[in-house]
Amino acid sequence: MLKVVAALGILMASMASLEILSLPCQGGEGSMAFKVESPAFSNGEKIPQKYTCEGRDISPELKWEGAPPGVKSFVLIVDDPDALRGTFTHWVLFDIPAAESGLIEGSKQGKPGRNDFGKLGYGGPCPPKGHGVHRYFFKLYALDIPSLGLKEGVSKAEVEAAMKGHILAQTETMGRYER
Q: Is 156 exposed, middle or buried (0-12, 13-18, 19+ CB in 10 A)?
A: buried
Instruction: Tell whether the model's pLDDT for residue 66 goes beyond 60.
Output: yes
Task: Give yes or no for a contact between 110 and 150, defined as CB atoms under 8 angstroms apart.
Answer: no
For residue 89, how many other CB atoms are within 10 A of its CB? 20
pLDDT for the residue 32:
78
What one-character DSSP code corresponds to residue 81? T
Q: How confident is the model at residue 22 (pLDDT cuts 50, 70, 90)?
A: very low
CATH 3.90.280.10 fits 33-177, yes or no: yes
Sheet containing strand 167-177, edge to edge, reads: 111-112, 88-97, 73-80, 134-143, 167-177
Task: Give yes or no for a contact between 75 and 163, defined as CB atoms under 8 angstroms apart.
Answer: yes
pLDDT for the residue 31:
57
Q: What is the DSSP string of 11-30?
A: HHHHHHHHHHHTSPPPP-TT
- Its pTM stands at 0.82
Per-residue pLDDT tens digits for 73-125: 999 999 999 999 999 999 999 999 999 999 999 998 999 999 999 999 999 99
